[in-house]
Amino acid sequence: MALRFEILGRFNRARAAKLVLPHYVCQAPLFMPVGTQGTIKGLTTSQLEEIGCQIILGNTYHLALRPTSELIDELGGLHKFMNWPRALLTDSGGFQMVSLLHLADITEKGVTFQSPVDGKPMLLTPEESIEIQNRIGADIIMALDDVVRTTITGPRIEEAMYRTLRWIDRCIKAHKRPNEQNLFGIVQGGLDPVLSYAIGGLAGGESKDSFWRVVAQCTAALPEDKPRYVMGVGYPLDIVVCSALGADMYDSVYPTRTARFGTALIPEGVLKLKHHAMAEDTRPIDPSCACMVCKTYTRAYIHCFVTKDAMGSQLVSYHNLYYMMKVHFSVIFNTEANLSRDLHTSIIEGSFPEFVCNFLRKMFPKGDVPEWVCNAMEVAGIDISSCCDTKFHSALEFPHILGRDDFNQLIINQEAKFCRDHLFITRTQKDEKHS
């Protein structure tokens, strides 16, 4: 069995879970850094273990081009190739239908790309995507889906939804290593709440109000005993909101990409290390952070070379990923014990609302929490009135966010039985860069 998923605790919609994979036992909610070609730029796999990374994401399309899946297979699989003992996930290559649309031609057979490496055409079918991922050997592999931007409306959205369903059948049939690799299906359908399980295409330009509503609809309807993965979401605030709504897994290039531009993640939001005010600041990036960078270097030191030298981006990347893995999912309670508890533990112990409120107070000390966050927390059943001055709506004002019974009826009506038999994730569409 390639995957075992166990829910350890709940707070309303939020779940704390254990994800047992062939190479690692993971705790969820969890964030996965993106190593498009089997590497996180500037960081070693030993450093990623130190940081607390549980799963690294690689990209099928890019790995197939270079160094090629055949070579990776000959050398013992991606785990051995990159010397990574923990879990791996490979994307199907479907995202490139959007990020490389000017190079792609999509048909029922598959998608034909013009290689950015040598200009030659490359046909990626559902069968080929799975074959490549079987050779790469990740713990979790993704079905090839027909990806469209959320800003697109009309018949193209429905076409993508039904094609994604047809392709998943082909992916299942092509999967040759079901006992070693777990195949995740992908939800498509844009922002239309009527298109069955239509939640694909998030974080691709839609409003935050639309973003949280489709996540809420998805988590209310998808199987309780399966992990829920929102692809491409990496902003800390978004992860807290999605976790409150019942999502479990996330990935994004955001922490490492923003590090290369000299921006550090801190509880209050972001810190622009390139700013001239940093030139004489002898404090660490985050005085409350226990990472190697914050214990060793000052803002002034990093300011000197943050975007001019490889070490600068390396240090900020290390800190940002540490923040995402540990500090972001922790909260210092103002108690006599002054305990540090992570998000996973706060759900199990029933202190998740305190975690959320503390997180929001630090990020929005004036109480100006965005209205979309307040509304999402209302639907999630989390009382944030103590840290939120924004007037939020009653959950009764969101009748279009379907409950499980209504959602199941839609599935029956659209003959999408697969939705209740397999794992599901939501496909998001951040602009992709190598990380």
Contacts of 272 (CB under 8 A, 6+ apart): 262, 263, 278
Segment 158-177 shows an average pLDDT of 94
**What pLDDT score was predicted for residue 226?**
92
Output 103 or 48, whichever has higher pLDDT: 48
The single-letter code of the amino acid at 172 is I
Cα–Cα distance for residue pair 390/392, rounded to 1 Å: 6
Sign of the torsion formed by the C-alpha atoms of 318, 332, 383 and 30? positive
Binding residues for substrate: 91-95, 145, 188, 201
Considering the four listed CATH numbers 3.40.50.1400, 3.10.20.600, 3.20.20.105, 3.10.180.10, the one that applies to the domain covering 4-233+413-430 is: 3.20.20.105
Per the DSSP assignment, residues forming a β-bridge with 331 are: 341
Instruction: Tell the residue number behind the tokens 């075992």, with chain if given.
Output: 4
Domain boundary assignment for the chain: 4-233+413-430
Lowest mean pLDDT among 7-11, 137-141, 227-231, 407-411: 407-411
Specify the DSSP element, H or E, that contains 57.
Answer: strand 55-59
Confidence of residue 119 (pLDDT cuts 50, 70, 90): confident
**What pLDDT score was predicted for residue 345?**
86
**pLDDT at residue 191 tops 70:** no
**pLDDT at residue 429 tops 50:** no
**pLDDT at residue 166 tops 90:** yes
* pLDDT above 70 as % of the chain: 80
Average pLDDT over the chain, rounded to an integer: 83
* Preceding omega of 121 cis (within 30 degrees of 0): no
pLDDT in tens, 258-307: 999 999 999 999 999 999 999 999 999 999 999 999 999 999 999 999 98
**What pLDDT score was predicted for residue 186?**
86
Q: And the tokens for 339?
A: 């305990």
**pLDDT at residue 422 tops 60:** no
**What pLDDT score was predicted for residue 123?**
87
**What pLDDT score was predicted for residue 400?**
52
**What pLDDT score was predicted for residue 405?**
56
Give the catalytic positions in this structure.
Answer: 91, 251
Which segments of 68-179 are extended strands (E)?
87-91, 104-106, 111-114, 121-124, 140-142
337 burial type by CB count under 10 A (0-12 exposed, 13-18 middle, 19+ buried): exposed
Lowest mean pLDDT among 7-11, 163-167, 430-434: 430-434
DSSP assignment letter at 367:
S
* pLDDT above 90 as % of the chain: 61
Chain length of the chain: 435
First to last CA, the chain: 31
* Preceding omega of 255 cis (within 30 degrees of 0): no
Cα–Cα distance for residue pair 86/53, rounded to 1 Å: 8
The pTM is what?
Answer: 0.87
**pLDDT at residue 205 tops 90:** no
Confidence of residue 136 (pLDDT cuts 50, 70, 90): very high
Binding residues: 91-95, 145, 188, 201, 289, 291, 294, 319
Residue 42 φ then ψ, to 5°: 85, -5
Instruction: Quote the longest CA-to-CA distance of the chain.
Output: 64
Query: Which range has the top average pLDDT, 46-50, 94-98, 207-211?
Result: 46-50
Cα–Cα distance for residue pair 59/88, rounded to 1 Å: 11
Cα–Cα distance for residue pair 258/383, rounded to 1 Å: 32
**What pLDDT score was predicted for residue 22?**
97
Confidence of residue 19 (pLDDT cuts 50, 70, 90): very high
Residue 121 φ then ψ, to 5°: -70, 145
Lowest mean pLDDT among 76-85, 101-110, 352-361: 101-110
Lowest mean pLDDT among 65-74, 274-283, 320-329, 333-342: 333-342
**pLDDT at residue 225 tops 90:** yes
**What pLDDT score was predicted for residue 397?**
56
Output 393 or 71, whichever has higher pLDDT: 71
pLDDT in tens, 336-380: 222 234 788 899 999 999 999 999 999 999 999 999 999 999 999
